Amino acid sequence: MSVSDHSVIERVSRALVILLTDGLQEISIDETAGINVELLSPADLPAPNAHLTVYLYRITRNGDVSNRSAYVEPDGTRRQPPLALDLSYLLTVPPTSTEPDSDDTYEQHRVLGQAIRVLQDNPVLSGVQVGEDVRITMHTEAMDEVLDVWNTFADTPYQPSVSYLVSPVLVAPARNDPTTPVTDWYVEEYVRAGADDADAEGSDP
């Protein structure tokens, strides 16, 4: 698996927005404009020009992948393991009207359902897009987290939303330590020389 630089979080977010934008073109809300997916916080709602918002609300360390050890390449470069991250995104469908409207609510549900289907059909962001393959998984156990996010926006009413985990996202270290390769030849010769000395002492009368 390849390792990405510091811009990988930006590229993952961008790739996710593009994936959803392309997938949502199958349904039409406005005949004069396509589905508009924006990288926005729920605090930015209402967003009249956005039919779906994507919000990175949490970044955590992936312990399973991050526990790898440093390794030495054939040229003697000692490389530190990458930092593996889990990115949690909140997908929200904002209302298209400031007034209560059941048709608007149906539309929100339709867009959210289509977004879920798009990510179900495309569970991996490929390495071509983000530098390495990363999985997209519905984060069903994160409901408490989702409610906590919404509770931080006191003036924004709750809207239909779902959480997704994108993982593992690998960030390469900025520095690698050069080191001198160690060969077995010197160790072998040292052991052999010691053994020869012992044999010589044992053979004295």
CB 27 within 8 A of CB 35: yes
Model confidence pTM above 0.85: no
**What is the per-residue pLDDT across 22-54, written as a single tens digit (0 to 9) for each?**
988 876 555 445 678 999 998 886 666 678 999
Q: What is the pLDDT of residue 10?
A: 93
**How far is the C-alpha of 24 from the C-alpha of 113, rounded, in Å?**
10
Q: Running DSSP on this structure, what letter comes out for residue 7? A: T
**What is the per-residue pLDDT across 173-187, written as a single tens digit (0 to 9) for each?**
766 555 544 445 444
**How far is the C-alpha of 26 from the C-alpha of 122, rounded, in Å?**
15
Per the prediction, the chain carries an average pLDDT of 78
Label residue 127 by pLDDT band (50, 70, 90).
confident
**What is the per-residue pLDDT across 64-121, written as a single tens digit (0 to 9) for each?**
765 566 666 676 667 777 888 999 999 999 887 666 667 778 888 989 999 999 999 9
**What is the per-residue pLDDT across 152-164, written as a single tens digit (0 to 9) for each?**
988 888 888 999 9
Q: What is the pLDDT of residue 103?
A: 78
Instruction: Give yes or no for residue 1 having a pLDDT over 70.
Output: no
Query: What mean pLDDT comes out for the span 179-198?
Result: 52
Instruction: Give yes or no for residue 137 having a pLDDT over 90.
Output: yes
The residue among 15 and 1 whose pLDDT is bigger is 15
Q: What is the pLDDT of residue 195?
A: 54
Does residue 46 have a cis bond before it (omega within 30 degrees)? Answer: yes
In the chain, where the domains are located: 8-202
Query: What mean pLDDT comes out for the span 137-145?
Result: 86
**How far is the C-alpha of 205 from the C-alpha of 148, rounded, in Å?**
85
